[in-house]
Amino acid sequence: MPDNSEAAYQKCINPDCAAEFDCGRSLFKCPECSELLDVVYDWDRVEVPAKLSDFAAGWANRDNRLDFSGVWRFRRLLDFCDDKYKVTIGEGQTILQRNDDLAKQVDMQPGCLYLQYEGLNPSGSFKDNGMAAAFSHAKMVGAQSSACASTGNTSASMALYAHSCGLKCTVLIGSGRIAFGKLSQAMDFGAHTIQIRGDFDDCMRQVQDVCSKLGIYLVNSMNPFRLEGQKTIMLRIIEQLGWQVPDWIIVPGGNLGNSSAFGKMFFELKQLGLIERIPRMAIINATGADTLTDLFNNKKLRWNAGRVDQAIIDDFYADLTARNFSPHTCASAIEISRPVNLKKCLRALDICNGVVLAVTDEEIVDAKAQVGKFGLGCEPASAATIAGLKHLRADRIVAADDRVACVLTGHALKDPNVTVNYHK
């Protein structure tokens, strides 16, 4: 049997099923009911720190490869496997930049707007946080091959981590639906890349089928272990705010893995008494890929203690199919119309008293240019957070003196064509 933490296990998010599985199994959905899985911890058996600032001592020990990692230095809060399996290539060395110039542009007071820049990760995006955890689990279960569907960033990150672990990797991309900056990374790192007819959602369906039939390790964000790594982005924000929680977290939409992970992290921190309050969350979609916006704001779809109204989702997706709808936005990283983490995201919105809105491509590229002008180069999906913040300020949902952290998910060089075309 694989060596794994006795304090961790996998659990179905469907309360009417709630099936539990050992972490030594490679699953990406519940075998009993096909819903998503969580990684759950028996906190009574975990050496939980007395306070979050206790993690500061780990940075002083950064000659240790795990303490150097911005994921694994928080491993007591995601310790699902033995240290010998933990994979790191230096992910999580990211910054939280206070940006008063940009704050002025969005009608925020000085000292209130912060940009969490995940473009500094080894592959240039936030995905590396999740891949460090996912490939640690892959090593633990003895996986030989990995695969993903991708709009770009997932493929680049998977290929990099698969190479570091000696695993084969295969990427499925849609026809004309990937930024070349990201695709070139996956190719450079040795990924076997297959293009299919269709968009990301078509790729996602096919990769699940292939992984199930061939026993390949799936690393898309429906993999619950990947989300464990992405939780640590919130820990680093809190760390860089002097172990204080911001008032708002603003994050791009897409496949909704980040928002799901962030909500889970804040729930766990509050449950453990490590924070006194949970920040609010805003999830920003592009108008050309706004499934969550429509379902949450117009159809009033809610978590409902885990009993999500599946009929609303089924009817919505049936309408997309009937219209032959395919998402389209310049923000390729969030060009997704059937997000696999939809239900987990609804839970996160419930936990964080969250809001959802969509912004136009024009608003995204304008915001991207402003972010670049004031010191950080981000990909279009990242800039959706700033475009969304402008709306939240105009509608007085976010106050001018609220402390806001916008998550910039990827580097500007991920999609340089958008930048060049904007400035022509």
pLDDT-based confidence at 182, cuts 50/70/90?
confident
Task: Give the pLDDT score at 94.
Answer: 96
- With respect to residue 318, please indicate whether it lies within any of the assigned structural domains: yes
Q: Higher pLDDT residue, 65 or 60?
A: 65
Read off the pLDDT of each residue in 223-250 and give the average, rounded to a whole number. Answer: 98
Given a cut of 80, is residue 180 above it in pLDDT?
A: no
- For residue 364 the two structure tokens come to 């995204």
Query: Residue 3: what pLDDT?
Result: 46
- Residue-wise pLDDT for 13-61, tens only, equals 999 999 999 999 999 999 999 999 999 999 999 999 999 999 998 888 8
Integer angstrom CA distances of residue 157 from 187, 226, 392: 11, 12, 32
Residue 2 confidence (pLDDT): 43
Overall residue count recorded for the chain in this entry: 424
Higher pLDDT, 159 or 151: 159
- Contact in structure between 53 and 243 (CB atoms under 8 Å): yes
| Residue 417 C-beta-side C-alpha neighbours within 13 Å | 8
Alpha-carbon gap, residue 300 to 108, rounded angstroms: 30
Let me know if residue 216 belongs to a domain.
no
Q: Give domain status of residue 199, yes or no.
A: no
Q: How far apart are CA 369 and CA 387, in angstroms?
A: 11
Q: Which of 408, 144, 366 is nearest to 251 (CA)?
A: 408
pLDDT value at residue 95: 95
Residue 158 lies in a domain: no
Query: Domain span at residue 409?
Result: 95-121+226-423
Q: Is residue 275 part of a domain?
A: yes
Q: Is residue 53 part of a domain?
A: no
pLDDT digits (tens, 9 = 90+) for 260-294: 999 999 999 999 999 999 999 999 999 999 999 99
Query: Is residue 365 included in any domain, yes or no?
Result: yes
Q: How many domains does the chain have?
A: 1
Q: For residues 228 and 39, is the Cβ–Cβ distance under 8 A?
A: yes
> Which of the four pLDDT bands, split at 50, 70 and 90, describes residue 5?
low
Q: How many degrees, rounded to 5, is the angle at CA 74 between CA 71 and CA 77?
A: 115
Say which CATH number the domain at 284 has: 3.40.50.1100
Residue 262 lies in a domain: yes
